[in-house]
Chains A and B, each alone.
Chain A
């Protein structure tokens, strides 16, 4: 799953790497518009429907956070 997420991230910003120590949101590497696009991409790729309440910056800090978000909905 990490690889898939990374691919979708790199679609938005090719410079993103698999490095959890980088906070993508606080370092302004992705913004709200990117998050909106990611949500749509995740829903499509993983066949889930993410609830608006879970669309908070914390869920998008790094790949691990995004993995957790997706797992929550896969189960």
Chain B
């Protein structure tokens, strides 16, 4: 396999009539998926666009996946942007990305000026076009596996989102590992929860493509009604899920488990934040025959670099291991002296291998800071990615997550740099100083600030600057901001005030 589209060529060739994708409004077979994707590719090729970024700006639907693949077939790379993102943040992404086209639906594009001069292509119009097999074939013949497949933007600590770039080869490497490790085949029906701008979705999409499994895009509003969600899982015969822990916790905390028979669900995989054993145990009691696996990894290493298939009992307060490196991935836990840790010493988790992103799009500074020369290799150039996660090994040789090196948090399943929130708050008139902390216990983002402005007002202004999930949950105005001996805001003192 050279390109991810080879997976589709293979599957559509074998089982064109099998259902590939299902959403609230339609379902498509592999044959249709291939044809519609190629229509999109044909158009992009005819516009002379090749090896360029194409923004995909649509609500979560079957069409998004068709568009991703259409972009891939044309030897371009896709960048999905959340339609709920405030305009000013979209602008920052566009400044970095400079896309050659935007593919969208009319009903999603509420502000036609949002993309400036960038050519806008409407999905329904693209479907009226035809497929030029020769053109698509010619382009894919000259593509190589290190060509980019997608750019996903993540929170940036200095206020500008960072675009993580991933090539075909990394996704193929990941996809092969998932299929083998979890025994995925065309009998699988995935209940997709992950948004398509979040790389957990890479597992669902490319397992579907490679194995001929079906991907069922679960209607988003069902996640607020856990009992209806379980009914959906049962009706749609979903037998595997790969969700963010917050979604699993919500179902558990809203007492839906045990209310409906979901014994058809055989594999429960999760990734994206710490999975508390308390809620996992609730799932394990309600669904004892399922396989549970904790997957771990930042976007920069193609979704997952380590995994732990649950094989024993855990107390509610135990820490669930993040386990062992994926096959063909090397994990190095490095201490402050740039050496491998020994015993139960804590160090930074670093990753080496094909799964690595080439860096951040158009951002050499941030790239150099995180993608560095392997300190244990002085013989030749070799890059490792420093995750910023502090971990250690337990007595079974399993990796255990400890904490972050910096101010990145996971809140309700979202990766957030507290610095991004602070940058946005600082831009508000009337704010003098500000500092954002995370109350782990209550899972709340707390903003300390000085300035003549009400917390509520800050929240209102932030709606135009950052996504909803980044808006602080608590506002604590102070007379004076505590400063430490280094002249910086004293976060330790603030922590005591939470």
How many residues of B are in contact with the other chain, CB < 8 A? 20
Beta-carbon nearest neighbor of B253 in chain A: A36
Which one, B46-54, B91-99, B220-228, B312-320, is touching chain A? B220-228
Q: Does B84 contact A (CB under 8 A)?
A: no
- B258/A32 in contact, CB under 8 A: no
Kindly provide the distance from the CB of B61 to the nearest chain A CB, expressed in whole angstroms: 22
- A50/B255 in contact, CB under 8 A: yes
Task: For the complex, give the distance between the alpha carbons of A55 and B256 in Å.
Answer: 9
Interface size class of A (residues with CB under 8 A): 10 to 19
Kindly provide the distance from the CB of B454 to the nearest chain A CB, expressed in whole angstroms: 10
A32 CB contact (under 8 Å) in B254, B255, B259, B473:
B254
Task: For the complex, give the distance between the alpha carbons of A61 and B287 in Å.
Answer: 31
- B223/A51 in contact, CB under 8 A: no
B256 CB contact (under 8 Å) in A33, A40, A50, A52:
A52
Q: Does B456 contact A (CB under 8 A)?
A: yes
Which chain A positions have C-beta within 8 A of B250?
32-33, 36
Q: Which of A34-75 contact B (CB under 8 A)?
A: 35-37, 39-40, 50-53, 55-57
B223 CB contact (under 8 Å) in A14, A32, A35:
A32
Given the contacts A36-B250, A36-B254, A40-B253, A56 and B259 also touching, CB distance less than 8 Å: no
Kindly provide the distance from the CB of B222 to the nearest chain A CB, expressed in whole angstroms: 11
Which chain B positions have C-beta within 8 A of A56?
225, 227
Which chain B positions have C-beta within 8 A of A20?
none
Which chain A positions have C-beta within 8 A of B254?
32, 35-36, 39, 52, 55
Kindly provide the distance from the CB of B477 to the nearest chain A CB, expressed in whole angstroms: 12
Q: Does A15 contact B (CB under 8 A)?
A: yes
Which chain B positions have C-beta within 8 A of A52?
226-227, 254-259
Which chain A positions have C-beta within 8 A of B135?
none
Q: Does A31 contact B (CB under 8 A)?
A: yes
Which chain B positions have C-beta within 8 A of A40?
253
Which chain A positions have C-beta within 8 A of B340?
none
Which chain B positions have C-beta within 8 A of A31?
224
State the majority secondary structure of interface residues on A.
Answer: helix
- B255/A51 in contact, CB under 8 A: yes
Q: Does B326 contact A (CB under 8 A)?
A: no
Task: For the complex, give the distance between the alpha carbons of A39 and B250 in Å.
Answer: 12
Beta-carbon nearest neighbor of B257 in chain A: A52
Interface string of A7-44 (1 = CB under 8 A from B): 00000011100000000000000011101110110000
Task: For the complex, give the distance between the alpha carbons of A15 and B255 in Å.
Answer: 27
Beta-carbon nearest neighbor of A25 in chain B: B224
Q: Does B291 contact A (CB under 8 A)?
A: no
Task: For the complex, give the distance between the alpha carbons of A59 and B456 in Å.
Answer: 26
Kindly provide the distance from the CB of A35 to the nearest chain B CB, expressed in whole angstroms: 7
Beta-carbon nearest neighbor of A51 in chain B: B255
Q: Does B409 contact A (CB under 8 A)?
A: no
Q: Which of B456-479 contact A (CB under 8 A)?
A: 456, 473-474
Kindly provide the distance from the CB of A13 to the nearest chain B CB, expressed in whole angstroms: 8
Q: Does B412 contact A (CB under 8 A)?
A: yes
Kindly provide the distance from the CB of B380 to the nearest chain A CB, expressed in whole angstroms: 49
- B256/A57 in contact, CB under 8 A: no
- 16 A-B contacts (beta carbon < 8 Å): A13-B473, A15-B456, A32-B223, A32-B250, A32-B254, A33-B412, A36-B249, A36-B250, A36-B253, A37-B253, A52-B227, A52-B254, A52-B258, A55-B254, A55-B255, A55-B256
Q: Which 4 A-B pairs have the closest CB atoms?
A: A52-B255, A36-B253, A32-B224, A52-B259
- Contacts A36-B253, A56-B225 aside, 16 further interface pairs with beta carbons under 8 A come to A31-B224, A32-B224, A32-B226, A32-B254, A33-B443, A35-B254, A36-B250, A36-B254, A39-B254, A52-B226, A52-B254, A52-B259, A53-B227, A53-B259, A55-B227, A57-B225
